[in-house]
A = this chain, B = another copy of it.
Amino acid sequence: MTPTNAANIASDLPVAPGTYRAGSSPVGLHRVLEPGGVLPQAAWRLDASPELYADEVRVRVDRLNLDAASFRQLWDRHGGDGDAVRAEVAGIIASRGKMHNPVTGSGGMLTGTVEEVGPQSRLGLAVGDRIATLVSLTLTPLAVADGLREWDGRSEQVPCDGHAILFGRSIAAHLPEDLPADLALAVMDVCGAPALTHRVVARYVAQGRPPVVAVIGGAGKSGSLALASARRAGAARTIGVVPVPAERDTLVEAKLADAVALADARDPVALSRAVEAAGGPADVTIVCVDVPGCEHGAILATADLGTVVFFSMATSFPSAALGAEGLAADVQLLIGNGYAAGHADFALDVLRGSPGARALFESRLAAHTHPQR
């Protein structure tokens, strides 16, 4: 029997309370409805039925935090019509059993309260725990009960009543008690960036050559934490690059970077010149802007034997690979992995230690009723 068949049959049968469905896969293969045999992230549609398999956890969802690239695409597509954005998000969740934007391929994360824990779960969660999921919404079974009616469709943060399923192998973090939930959530959403930035910078430092670090999109969420993290890891110099004067002023005031440069990241020549003028070229360049076409500029701004880390989901793989080749650039190109052991706690700690980053996050949260660059 294939996983697909098993899931279909199981969800058609009533399950008595206290009994659990058997035969689950720790990575969620048993929840994949179509196409069969792929992992949940690659699936078109997931089974989001609330009955648990023995190693699963069900979460009562109170908030979704949409990926920035996904929200931007929806916002742009509907010309800023919040009702249309809400209707499309509700429709995606209903048809796919997950919040997986089919255009951008990205999702987001959620918060909620643990509602039921299967007897074989090893995630360390208990009923009533307040948590955030740190795996993408693109692979998390999700069902909405309230039609998202509390959401105006004008912000990445979506109030929501519904349920989500965590698999045997998943990642969920307890929401910290010393930080507001929306702040913690916003930090956790991008917690892969400070963790990987720290690792990469520390590797150069350990080799006796503290690097010049440029963060493209330094005033954004992942960007500001990457800057704070680079400094903490021992960078020789940090350069924040932003596209508009308002963000430059904000970033200068936050004191997160040794230098702040103004450039359009989609213009390779302008970007590389701006980084150069700010003390570059960079040994490590971190790309944190969710707009397409930044690959070549990042590569051109990076010194020989340097490293570029792409956190933007708008990154084009061929453009990065062929761009480096075309520029005869001997640089290491890293895909920003959203997961590293301990990344959530690390990111929260970076925020606690950086008043500038915290101020940026708080002002973004206060102002997030309109999409930002």
Contact = CB atoms under 8 A, between A and B. Distances in A.
A179 interface: no
Interface in A94-109: 104-107
Contacts of A337: 321, 324-325, 329-333
Interface stretch (A38-46, A73-81, A220-228, A345-353): A38-46
B334 A300 contact: no
Contacts of A27: 300, 326-327
A325 B159 CA distance: 24
B317 A335 contact: yes
A336 interface: yes
Given A321-B313, A335-B335, A136 B39 contact: no
Contacts of A324: 335, 337-339
Interface string A181-196: 0000000000010000
Contacts of A317: 310, 313, 315-317, 320, 335
A334 B335 CA distance: 6
A319 interface: yes
A10 interface: no
A129 to B, nearest CB: 18
A117 to B, nearest CB: 18
Given A268-B38, A317-B313, A329 B339 contact: yes
A170 interface: yes
B268 A325 contact: no
B37 A269 contact: yes
A169 interface: yes
A27 B317 CA distance: 20
The size class of the interface chain A forms with chain B is: 35 or more
A371 interface: no
A327 B42 contact: no
A313 B323 contact: no
Nearest to A27: B327
Given A29-B269, A37-B267, A42-B293, A338 B325 contact: yes
- Top-4 shortest CB links A-B: A325-B338, A333-B335, A105-B318, A139-B326
Interface of A: 25, 27, 29, 37-42, 104-107, 134-136, 138-139, 169-171, 192, 267-269, 293, 296, 300, 310, 313, 315-341
23 contacts: A27-B326, A29-B269, A37-B267, A38-B293, A39-B323, A39-B327, A41-B322, A42-B293, A42-B296, A135-B325, A135-B326, A313-B322, A320-B335, A321-B336, A321-B337, A324-B338, A325-B339, A330-B337, A330-B339, A330-B341, A333-B335, A334-B334, A335-B335
